[in-house]
Amino acid sequence: MASLNRRATFKPYTQSQPSLLPPSLDELIAANHPVRVVNSVVDSLDLSVLFRSYEGGGASSYHPSMLLKVVVYSYLRNIYSSRKMEEALEENIHFMWLSGQSAPDHNTLARFRSGRLRTSLREVFSQVVVLLSENGLVSLEESYVDGTKIEANAGRYTFVWGKAVKTNKEKMLGRVNELLAYADKLEESDSKTPALEFEKVSPEQLQATVDSLNERLRAKDIPKETRQVLRLAKKEWPDRLARYQQQEKILAGRGSYSKTDPDATFMRMKDDHMGNGQLKPGYNLQISTQNQIVTHFSVHSNPTDTKTLVPHLKGYQDELGALPKKATADAGYGSEENYEFLAESKIEAYVKYSRFHQDQRKKKNPFNSAYWPQDAVADTIICPAGQTLSKVREYQSKTAAGNLQQITVYRASKCEACPLREKCFKAPGNREVEVNHRLNEHRAKAHKLLTSEEGIKRRKRRCCEVETVFGQVKQNKGLRRLLLKSKEKVQVELGLILLAHNCSKIAA
């Protein structure tokens, strides 16, 4: 019972107790805290490119080195809003120590991020990567490449579709050409007015043509509907054509763009928790990693990875001085143009192709022509029934990236009575097979590398290299939707996140 009579004791608590020697902020921060890593990394960089973005004269500015430290550390702490950064500079001792107790407001921080860093962040990022390489934390001779789509800060319901622009333009010019033919018919003229060409017509030419039609048909007895079409054409069609051509210029070969961020393209995102596919405006982020440290990144407006590898690696060379000696990537990059570039650049390519996993199976589909034996000397193919498919023609095909492929067509001659016909193919006539010999050569080399001992190791490692970084960036750092608009500013935002990721790896 005695234990029940004990009185609770508390540690001394005196808010107004003065200190004879007030502690410094440096004493309150642990020696191995990540804020010290950010501070030392930025202090070791040459920031002359950042200094050059400031003009002389006027009032004094906050030091760019201090602002860079604050912004990078904010991203490391998952603080992306400039107002939250301003708040942290007044309340958080780590921010106060990092800034030397300076207190720039949110406008200053926002202008520094989206303005000053727009022309200098890439060089800053590359310097950090080179610094890590010099300290043996990362190797620049090998690269694991992959991409992910990130939703843009753009309206999901304000979009322009490339196919719709093309269809509307063709329909409008088609109606003009119909009116020209109609005018020729009424005038009973032997010479026909030249039709407007879809690719070459300008708004001025369209305006002149519509004015000419109105003049030619003014005194004619034409239906009321045709007269209404002429009035509409004169009032709206030249402006519509100018708008269509401006939209085509913005599209630049893409399938779509968002009106609130024209650099963003509508892309198929990962399924949500209900398994629903999401079509949203976004950007395609490509990264190269080594030891889960990002060595290079690039931002693209096209949704497919196939067309991003060459510009990504060229950017790697421009910023780090040389291409990697070895590159590892998944089947999304296994195109002929990519294999050609890797071979010409003397990069050892551990890059899968579309049917790599099918080639790994012991039991293959015997009617898939990719597995039929070929006679290179006679230039023929042998089908499962033992019939010879002979070469009948060659033609060139253009890929989505604009590259030409040489396609060879082989045809059988006796498929009608073949006992395997029903299992082989359903089309009438004899079976034809199209072969891209150059691509097959690249695939054979890739298969040999990928199934080697080193290739197996690299395939296993790729999953925990790039995918881990994407998981940390998207899940741990909460990067679900971008804050900034336009490709230039998005590159700054993503560059800061990846730079903060690298600093967190150093601190760990």
pLDDT category of residue 275 using cuts at 50, 70 and 90: low
Q: Quick check: 248 and 202 in contact, CB under 8 A?
A: no
Select from 174, 196, 182 the least CA-distant residue to 225: 182
| The pLDDT of residue 56 | 75
Evaluate whether residue 15 is within a structural domain. Answer: no
| The pLDDT of residue 83 | 96
Q: What is the mean pLDDT of residues 434-453?
A: 93
Examine the domain organization and report whether 106 and 232 are in the same domain.
Answer: no
Q: Quick check: 283 and 154 in contact, CB under 8 A?
A: no
* Other beta carbons within 10 Å of 205: 14
Residue at which a domain ends, from 206, 228, 257: 257
Examine the domain organization and report whether 410 and 296 are in the same domain.
Answer: no
Does 253 score more than 90 pLDDT? Answer: no
Cα–Cα distance measured from residue 330 to residue 254, given in angstroms and rounded to the nearest whole number? 23
Examine the domain organization and report whether 368 and 341 are in the same domain.
Answer: no
Rg over alpha carbons for the chain, rounded to the nearest Å, is 32
Examine the domain organization and report whether 314 and 232 are in the same domain.
Answer: no
SS3 470: helix
Helix segments in 223-368, DSSP class H: 224-251, 309-320, 336-344, 356-360
Q: Quick check: 244 and 282 in contact, CB under 8 A?
A: no
Cα–Cα distance measured from residue 102 to residue 96, given in angstroms and rounded to the nearest whole number? 7
Residue at which a domain ends, from 119, 152, 172: 119
CB-based contacts of 93, cutoff 8 Å, min separation 6: 25, 28, 29
Give pLDDT tens digits for 366-402.
Answer: 898 888 988 888 889 999 988 889 999 999 988 877 7
Cα–Cα distance measured from residue 289 to residue 271, given in angstroms and rounded to the nearest whole number? 25
Evaluate whether residue 39 is within a structural domain. Answer: yes
Cα–Cα distance measured from residue 79 to residue 403, given in angstroms and rounded to the nearest whole number? 43
**Angle subtended at Cα 493 by Cα 50 and Cα 117, rounded to the nearest 5 degrees:** 10
Strand-pairing partners, residue 391, are 410
Examine the domain organization and report whether 272 and 320 are in the same domain.
Answer: yes
Containing 214, the helix (H) or strand (E) segment is: helix 203-217
| The pLDDT of residue 269 | 85
CA distances from 182 to 171, 186, 279, 444, 445 (A): 16, 6, 44, 60, 61
Evaluate whether residue 135 is within a structural domain. Answer: no
Cα–Cα distance measured from residue 303 to residue 283, given in angstroms and rounded to the nearest whole number? 7
DSSP code at position 152: -
Cα–Cα distance measured from residue 360 to residue 378, given in angstroms and rounded to the nearest whole number? 28
Evaluate whether residue 372 is within a structural domain. Answer: yes
CA distances from 200 to 38, 196, 255 (A): 55, 8, 21
DSSP code at position 399: -
Whole-number mean pLDDT of the chain? Answer: 90
| The pLDDT of residue 272 | 66
Examine the domain organization and report whether 346 and 363 are in the same domain.
Answer: no
pLDDT category of residue 240 using cuts at 50, 70 and 90: very high
Q: Quick check: 406 and 437 in contact, CB under 8 A?
A: yes
pTM for the structure as a whole: 0.87
Strand-pairing partners, residue 281, are 266
| The pLDDT of residue 222 | 83
**Residue 74 belongs to domain spanning:** 25-119
Examine the domain organization and report whether 297 and 364 are in the same domain.
Answer: no
SS3 208: helix
Which conformational region is residue 402 in: left (phi greater than 0), alpha (psi within -120 to 50 degrees), or beta?
A: left
Select from 209, 196, 205 the least CA-distant residue to 170: 196
Q: Would you tell me the crossing angle of helices 203-217 and 162-187 to the nearest 10 degrees?
A: 30
Evaluate whether residue 302 is within a structural domain. Answer: yes
Count the domains in the chain.
Answer: 4
Examine the domain organization and report whether 282 and 363 are in the same domain.
Answer: no
| The pLDDT of residue 4 | 62
Examine the domain organization and report whether 464 and 316 are in the same domain.
Answer: yes
Evaluate whether residue 124 is within a structural domain. Answer: no
DSSP code at position 202: -
- Per the model's pLDDT, the better-predicted residue between 495 and 1 turns out to be 495
Residue at which a domain ends, from 195, 224, 257: 257
Give pLDDT tens digits for 57-66.
Answer: 778 889 999 9
Q: Which pairing describes strands 388-398 and 404-411: parallel, antiparallel, or unpaired?
A: antiparallel
End-to-end CA distance of the chain: 51
| The pLDDT of residue 37 | 93
Strand-pairing partners, residue 283, are 150
Examine the domain organization and report whether 168 and 287 are in the same domain.
Answer: no
Evaluate whether residue 73 is within a structural domain. Answer: yes
Cα–Cα distance measured from residue 324 to residue 369, given in angstroms and rounded to the nearest whole number? 35
Give pLDDT tens digits for 284-303.
Answer: 999 999 999 999 999 999 98
Strand-pairing partners, residue 327, are 143, 349
Select from 145, 450, 431, 121 the least CA-distant residue to 308: 145
Cα–Cα distance measured from residue 379 to residue 392, given in angstroms and rounded to the nearest whole number? 10
Examine the domain organization and report whether 205 and 249 are in the same domain.
Answer: yes
Q: Which pairing describes strands 326-329 and 142-151: parallel, antiparallel, or unpaired?
A: parallel
Evaluate whether residue 368 is within a structural domain. Answer: yes
Examine the domain organization and report whether 329 and 472 are in the same domain.
Answer: yes
